[in-house]
Amino acid sequence: MENNEHQEEFKVNGGELIKKVKELIAQGNARKIIVKTDNGEIIAEFPLTIGAIGVVLAPMFAALGALAAILSNCTIVVIKK
């Protein structure tokens, strides 16, 4: 992680996963989003670029939807600038 970046973690259930990720992206300062299981295993990692548009984000949301269906609880790690 670069010096001007920091990390935040959010514990959510599978049903809240997409909603929370959309909220974090809308804030506009997320550089990377990582989804982990309860035991800390990384199951998805998405770098976010400045100016990402819906077409670019659509595959990420599809993947998150699939993960939400199988996860009961998870942690979202957000690297922010």
> pTM (2 decimals)?
0.80
Specify the higher pLDDT residue, 59 or 54: 59
Q: What is the pLDDT of residues 24-44, one digit of tens each?
A: 888 878 888 899 988 899 988
Task: Return the biggest CA–CA distance within the chain.
Answer: 36
Sign, CA torsion 60/65/71/73: positive
| Residue 12 pLDDT level (bands cut at 50, 70, 90) | very high
The DSSP letter of residue 38 is T
Q: What is the pLDDT of residue 54?
A: 58
> Within 10 Å of residue 76's Cβ, how many Cβ atoms?
21
Per-residue tokens: 28: 């506009």
